[in-house]
Structure 1
Amino acid sequence: MSQIELGYTADYHVHLRQGDMMNAVTPTIREGGISVAYVMPNLTPPITNLEAVLKYKEELQKLAPKTTFLMTFYLSRLLTPELVERAAESGAIRGIKCYPAGVTTNSSAGVDPNNFTEFYPIFEVMQKHGLVLNIHGEKPSVDNNNDEESITVLNAEPKFLPALFKIHNDFPKLKLVLEHCSTRKAIDAIYEINANLKEGETPIVCGSITAHHLFLTVDDWAGNPVNFCKPVAKLPEDRKALIEAATSGKPYFFFGSDSAPHDIAKKSTHIKVSAGVYTQPYVLTYVAEVFDKVGKLANLRGFVSTFGNSFYGIDESKLVCKDKCFLVKKPVQIPEVSVYGNIRVVAFQPGGKFSWRPEWH
């Protein structure tokens, strides 16, 4: 197999930042082989109103006119049910991103992950309009000298999972995505929720999986800031579960890169290293390598195209460009450093050699 048609590819979790970094990385979405980009709202300040989300989309569209952008609000007390209703009816947003306060980049305005009830009126509106609640499923670290209650970056995701089940139980028709799954327990939770899903049915609760979590374990980021992200990569058994889920052909697992660029200066500091792995210009190259290695290239289209688009209700009529993506077997080498004007970033696997590259037809 030397060429694979992937159709209308989608990355359902992208960070495009603002200012110079936005100008630098937004055009690389198409370079990486992605047609549809689901944009995260954790800017400074966060995207919490119609004017801001419309302006942001306009800026992105000018930078990447052939990319279809789907926009989100940032879940916070600044949102109201009435605002969400207006945004849904106008088509300004496709979902709302939930960040527990303090767990990752620009999450200080986030929510208390121990109690979501104050947002239930918003969830009601979202459920009514088919909006998606995208959840960064971690609890903040807590050290209280009790092994059962302490939370670290290694168990922050499993500690969050009861909240996922409660939201789904209270709003059974609310579309939920557990973003960037990083543990076997998270994967098992998505399987459990979808245990009774019938053939051909669209799931209500899904898990997105990044490219970098298909490669990394804890040893790869300990001491290596390029590979440091939130949630952190975990153990080999967790990576194995992620690969099995991504390549399974199950419609409740799809691609969301969580590509998160930072200037190299923010990655090479001795304190407060920025969390985020930058994969955008090569996302399909990375993912194809994993699927190829385990003999599951036939399931790649579902993971990076069909399943996510079906869940989000995206079809050809909603695209700004009808070009289709193909993967061709051609060598790719990742640069050691990528320079965009005065921006310098290091892409995932610098210097690495891979076998697949995207083309548009």
Structure 2
Amino acid sequence: MQITLDTPLDMHLHLRDGEMARLVTPCSARTFAGAVIMPNLVPPVTDSAAMRDYAERILQAADGCDFRPYMTLFFKNQTRQELETALANPLFFGLKLYPAGATTNSEGGVKNLGETGTTLHLMEEMGIPLLIHGESHGFVMDREQDFLPVYRNLATRFPKLKISMEHITTAAALELLDAHENLHATVTLQHLLITLDDLAGGMLKPHLFCKPIAKRPADRDALLQAALSGHPKLMFGSDSAPHPIHKKECCGCAAGVFTAPFALAKLAETFATHQSLDNLQAFVSGNARRIYALTPPDKTVTLVDTPMTIPAAYRGYGQEIVPMDAGHTIGWSVA
């Protein structure tokens, strides 16, 4: 069995910078036609000049692969002039809003959502998408649930603003997705497959720890069913987030799961297992292209039901990253 995907897209990707980016960028660029690149570097990517320079470094790290980085700016109440300057760059995609301190390198994020209205009105007027890390600072299992009223409020106040609920993890988020025309969502590979029990039910598995944290079986099952059924507002966003091994296997483990090199193969295996391969194209490209009117580079990727073993680690440029399911064999691979 095999499937050929047209212009697969990763709608939420962390490439980091420097030597780490040199190692991980080709892992995505070889199989994806493009990806929405997160801006939470240190310091964050907040202006057009930094965005342009970062895009150039990514394209250089892609090592000749036909790959389009869709660039985002770290939300900081940008002015009209700043947004117009960003729009002049054809690689600019949207703004990413982080509640301050909600996840990795988000300390400079938004502290008072009530002060964002001016920029959000400008984004609505100019057709700039808003991507949100939707978590509160409450109890870890309830943080997404607590944030849903914020999504509801924004969707109502700014009905023409295209809002993406990033890496959703709950059945409740899916219900909200269907309630507002201008809400869309991405979901990760890990949140389609694992629950909190996989992370912490036995011995702690740090390479499965991410934010938002994995939730209950009912949430996982709802997300998986939505993806398998071809939900028209749900897009694949890996949230693949590499960290050096010493930042994961330590006290104070960093949040992030690395899946980029094998994400498409594992998705193909998952959809095939559930007799839903016909809906994989929409999930990994069709929905995103329609929602955002994207025209990524022409690229086709063929996946076959030939087993592959996920490496124990990815190494290079002085970096070492342990992926999700390191050492495990999966049933599909890239042809």
TM-score normalised to structure 2 length: 0.95
CA deviation vs aligned residue, 1:179-225 (integer Å, no higher than 9, x gap) = 0010111111112224xxxxxxxxx3211010011111011112110
What residue in structure 2 maps to residue 280 of structure 1? Answer: 260
Seen in structure 2, the aligned counterparts of structure 1 residues 11 and 125 have a Cα distance that, compared at 3 Å, is same
Residue 214 of structure 1 contacts residue 290 of structure 1 at CA under 8 Å; is this kept in 2?
no
Q: Are positions 1:60 and 2:47 aligned together? A: no
Q: Distance in 1 between matches of 2:285 and 2:313?
A: 29
Secondary structure class of the residue paired with 1:325? strand
Q: Are positions 1:306 and 2:286 aligned together? A: yes
What residue in structure 1 maps to residue 122 of structure 2? Answer: 125
Q: What is the total number of aligned residue pairs between the two structures?
A: 330
Residue 133 of structure 2 contacts residue 165 of structure 2 at CA under 8 Å; is this kept in 1?
yes
The residue type paired with residue 100 of structure 1 is P
The residue type paired with residue 247 of structure 1 is L
Q: Distance in 1 between matches of 2:29 and 2:330?
A: 18
Alignment of 1:261-276 (within 5 A): 261-270=242-251, 272-276=252-256
TM-score normalised to structure 1 length: 0.88
Task: Note the C-alpha offset of 1:293.
Answer: 1.9
Q: Distance in 1 between matches of 2:235 and 2:143?
A: 22
Q: Are positions 1:182 and 2:166 aligned together? A: no
Structure 1, gaps ≥5 residues long: 141-150, 195-203
What residue in structure 1 maps to residue 219 of structure 2? Answer: 238
What residue in structure 1 maps to residue 273 of structure 2? Answer: 293
Q: Are positions 1:102 and 2:101 aligned together? A: yes
CA RMSD of aligned residues (A): 1.3
Q: Percent identity?
A: 38
Secondary structure class of the residue paired with 2:299? coil
What residue in structure 2 maps to residue 25 of structure 1? Answer: 24
CA deviation vs aligned residue, 1:282-310 (integer Å, no higher than 9, x gap) = 11012122212221111000000100122
Q: Distance in 1 between matches of 2:130 and 2:246?
A: 33
Residue 337 of structure 1 contacts residue 350 of structure 1 at CA under 8 Å; is this kept in 2?
yes
Q: Distance in 2 between matches of 1:254 and 1:261?
A: 21
What residue in structure 1 maps to residue 185 of structure 2? Answer: 207
Q: Distance in 2 between matches of 1:289 and 1:157?
A: 28
Task: Note the C-alpha offset of 1:92.
Answer: 4.5
Structure 2, gaps ≥5 residues long: none
Alignment of 1:50-199 (within 5 A): 50-64=48-62, 65=64, 66-77=66-77, 79-112=78-111, 115-140=112-137, 151-194=138-181
Task: Note the C-alpha offset of 1:101.
Answer: 0.8
The residue type paired with residue 55 of structure 2 is K
Q: Distance in 2 between matches of 1:221 and 1:173?
A: 38
The residue type paired with residue 105 of structure 2 is N
Q: Distance in 2 between matches of 1:179 and 1:11?
A: 12
Q: Distance in 2 between matches of 1:16 and 1:179?
A: 17
